[in-house]
Structure 1
Amino acid sequence: MRASLSIVSLLAGAVAAAPAPKIPFVTATDVIPAPAVNARQSASQACFVIGSETLPKEVSDVAAALASSVTCDKSATTIANVPDVTSGSTTFSSIDFSQSSQTALQFALSKFATANPLADTDLQTFQDMLDVYQATEAGIRSVGGSLAIKVPKFFLEMQVSRIQTAQGNPPTAAGLQVDHLRDKVLKNAPRESKDLLDQVTQLATVLS
């Protein structure tokens, strides 16, 4: 009987001596990373993306990048009922090609002319103009509207690339090269006159 009691006592002592199991816990300083928000989600949250049509990746990437810097005036609309947008000191309605009696390319060539010499052009102003055109394009695409805006938009992209090149900071991405953007303008303006198309081609050769 005593032997049995001793065995029981030894077992009880061993259990008491065993370390308590560790229970994992999270402190106030532990950070659980949130999943990354992709460009399409960010683009859909932009104030100028008013529709539900899926945007091409390139357009959604641009829209996502502009979402925090371009503002919308929801009391005023422009093409396809997209809110009038502003970037820096430029508002889309002040340079809206669709309100002109000129063709899209005529308007772009006259309204978005650079300084002479090219390097003296205010790059920020041209970037602001491009931003509001890109934002408005994204809004138009989101509702499945007409994409006539691509002609002046690509022309502005070409002008920005020319200015950057003249100022000693040429873009490195293939899609932002002057020649590539020249071809984009020409491709999207098949009904424009040869004289206007030739002006675009000539501008693409002037990089200083």
Structure 2
Amino acid sequence: MRASLPLAAVLAGTAAAAPKIPFVTSSTVIPLRNGVVVSARQSAQNACFVIGSTTLPQETADIVDDLASTVTCDKTATTISGVPDVTSGSTTFSSIDFSQSKQTPLEFALSKFATASPLANSDLATFQDQLNVYQATEAGIRSVGGSLAIKVPKFFLEFQVSRIQTAQGNPPTAAGLQVDHLRDKVLKNAPKESQDLLDQVTQLATQLK
């Protein structure tokens, strides 16, 4: 009769035969081109403009999910913080990049993103494309921990989109997208802007026709 193997040897053999399963956690990072890494969550979003490893706020991550299949990237050109130049519809970020202007962010936004008169005649699709490229670029900047001066014109664009939708009879239903809420977002993020410019934003919030 064959002698029994020691229990330790049996267990060792079983362990050796078992397949090795890679250990994956929610914070696993996946290497990308040029040594850049992103979190598994960000990578799954497959957004060409999220280039860094800094975790995005949930609100921004949700926006990235929405834009990943809408916004395209120019791999040969970059803008703020090395983020690829992005395009939505017929609008490319570099063509409306506030950082290339000598104006302050709010001054630029007020002049560049002015609506039509009457307000309902404004081209909502164009304003939405402009907002898309600003949101995408902001997400990319956040992913590398860059300066967020972009928030002022981005919130102003959100504000203008909300005003146009309201004037066209389709006001946003979400509390965070209401005209007054976005007015406050613009004002809160523009403490260094002149009072005259801030007053213009406040006045626009009352003009919804």
User: Same fold by TM-score, threshold 0.5 exceeded?
Assistant: yes
Q: In the alignment, what sits opposite 2:105? A: 104
Once the two structures are TM-superposed, the CA of residue 44 in structure 1 deviates from its matched residue by 4.6
Report the counterpart of residue 82 of structure 1 in structure 2.
83
How big is each residue's C-alpha offset from its partner over 1:106-156, in whole Å with a ceiling of 9 and x where there is no partner? 000000000000000000000000000000000000000000000000000
1:142 maps to a residue whose letter is S
Q: 1:192: which partner in 2? A: 193
Distance 1:52 1:44, change over 3 A: farther
Which protein shows a greater Rg? Answer: 1
Partner of 2:186, secondary structure, is: helix
Cα 1:42/1:178, change in 2 over 3 Å? farther
Partner of 1:122: 123
- Which 5+ residue runs of structure 1 have no aligned equivalent? 1-38
Structure 1 CA distance for aligned equivalents of residues 119 and 57 of structure 2: 33
Q: 1:167 aligned to 2:171?
A: no
Provide the identity percentage: 84
Q: Which amino acid aligns with 2:108?
A: F
Which structure 2 segments of 5+ residues have no match? 1-39
Count of aligned positions = 170
Cα RMSD (Å):
1.2
Q: Could you say which residue in structure 2 is the equivalent of 1:182?
A: 183
Q: Which residue of 1 aligns with 2:8?
A: none
Aligned to 1:156: 157
Note the alpha carbon deviations across 1:52-106, whole angstroms, 9 max, x for none.
Answer: 1000000000011100010000100000000000000000000000000000000
SS in 1 for 2:148: coil
The 2-side partners of 1:139 and 1:43 are apart by: 15
What TM-score does the superposition give when structure 1 sets the normalisation length? 0.80
